[in-house]
Homo-oligomer: A and B are copies of this chain.
Amino acid sequence: MLAPDQSSFHATKTIGMAKHSYRCKISSSLTDAILFVGGVMVALLLFCALWSSIMPVPNPTPTFSSAVTRPKPSVSEVFASDDCAQVVVSMRVNRSHDPSSPTFYDDPNLSYYVDKDKPIKNWDKKRREWLKHHPYFSPGIQERILLVSGSQPSPCQNPIGDHLLLRFFKNKVDYCRIHGYDIFYNNVLLHPEMKTFWAKIPVLRAAMIAHPEAEWIWWMDSDAAFTDMDFKLPLERYREHNMVVHGWEKLIYEKKSWVSLNAGVFLIRNCQWSMDFMDVWASMGPQTPDYDKWGKTQKSVLKDKVYAESDDQSGLVYLLLEQKEKWADKIYVESQYYFEGYWLEIVERLENISDRYVGIETSAGELRRRHAEKVNGYYAQLREPYLKEAGFGWGSWRRPFVTHFTGCQPCNGNHNRIYSGESCWKGMEKALNFADNQVLRTFGFVHGDMLDSSSVSPLPFDYPSSA
């Protein structure tokens, strides 16, 4: 029998031990739980670290020269930007899945065509909703581009017109294949009265609706060609903008020139701002009762405008001038590189540019290495340091990004009279072969003569070292 003091102590101790035991059981369970969750967290952390080393994430501090390279995000950036599980779900681009949850497609009031009585509203929210139901299109969306081009439905009047259009189209398809962009070529009039250069606006609108997964629509005239197959658009540069055109701000705001920018090549974001802008832009077109009035209005503001009729390019300059506060802050006027280059100042320099690039490769062995077309981007990165002194745009010896044969009119043949048709067609042939050489390189061939479209020669191993 325990002594009374031991008994009470024991009792206290027992109660204490019971309490302690109870608390221990709780704290032990807590510890177990912590350990278990800790294991889960470490696994997640490991996965996300693996993930962050493979998923493409936009460069947070972009510069123009990083147009080609993208640094890897840190683990914390991935955690902050996206839930890992959400990212995993988003990964599969599933063409065979369309959930029944209603989207803007189920709205009877949605109009694919430009209709001033049926403007699109809340397009940003509608796109976001669609993307929420199709999460596999989210990864990489900021860089997803649909390139759109087109020409008239009927055969060209110029006997070699369609042949040239075919070559220009192939050129665009080559660029898109190399960079993984979708391309849509339109050859119908979506609005019977919106012809020639006005025809593009209904096409852009329809394309935005048909391709909600595309962040940017890139319009390129049928007579514009890619002449640098490596160059990628520096999209980070335009992250605060919804439209990009090639031009010069001085010429817009001081000279008020109708050629202060070019409306034949532009980027336009798939968003509500663009829908609103296109409605206003289109309101100056031939399908409206104010068409004639707009021609006069544009001419009164843009003194050097040549044609009497309202045109889309003058319309764009007009909107920048007369509705500046409404639109200008979202329209990037790009003048630092040939986002769209005037052919007349380019084609005579192409042989020289070609020689400079061959010169680089003669001394840089790593650039001579044969490779699959799919990894062109790697060799583009390797080449960049050698182009440091090349410059961009006018006067540079860098390959011009886009060469645009404005004024040549390959389809109807009614070229601007300040140059001959011959100079147009020869110029086109040279530019197209200059570009084609960059493509054929990975197929093992080259046009020896930029003015000879038919003949190519096989490239020897280690070209141009052994040339």
Chain A residues close to B by CB (< 8 Å): 31-32, 35-44, 47, 50-51, 54-56, 68-70, 85, 88-89, 91-98, 105-106, 108-113, 130, 134, 136-137, 151, 153-156, 159-163, 165-167, 169-170, 173-174, 177, 179-180, 182-185, 187-190, 192, 206-207, 209-213, 369-381, 436, 440, 442-445, 447, 453-456, 458-459, 461-462
Contact = CB atoms under 8 A, between A and B. Distances in A.
B187 A170 contact: yes
A154 B454 contact: yes
Nearest to A376: B95
Interface centre among A98, A162, A166 (most CB of B within 10 A): A166
A393 B366 CA distance: 52
Per assembly, the copies of the chain total 2
A173 B454 CA distance: 23
A189 B447 CA distance: 10
Contact of A154 (B54, B55, B453, B459): B453
Given A210-B373, A461-B110, A378 B96 contact: yes
Contacts of A207: 443
Given A36-B36, A38-B39, A169-B169, 15 more contacts: A36-B38, A55-B92, A95-B180, A95-B374, A95-B378, A108-B462, A130-B372, A154-B163, A154-B453, A159-B159, A162-B162, A167-B187, A174-B184, A188-B447, A206-B443
Contacts of A377: 95-96
Contacts of A155: 159-160, 163
A401 to B, nearest CB: 18
Nearest to A440: B188
A173 B183 CA distance: 8
Contact of A375 (B95, B112, B151, B378): B95
B97 A375 contact: yes
A92 B40 CA distance: 25
A445 B112 contact: yes
18 contacts: A39-B43, A40-B42, A50-B89, A54-B89, A95-B376, A95-B378, A96-B380, A105-B369, A106-B369, A155-B159, A169-B169, A170-B185, A188-B445, A189-B454, A192-B455, A210-B373, A210-B442, A211-B372
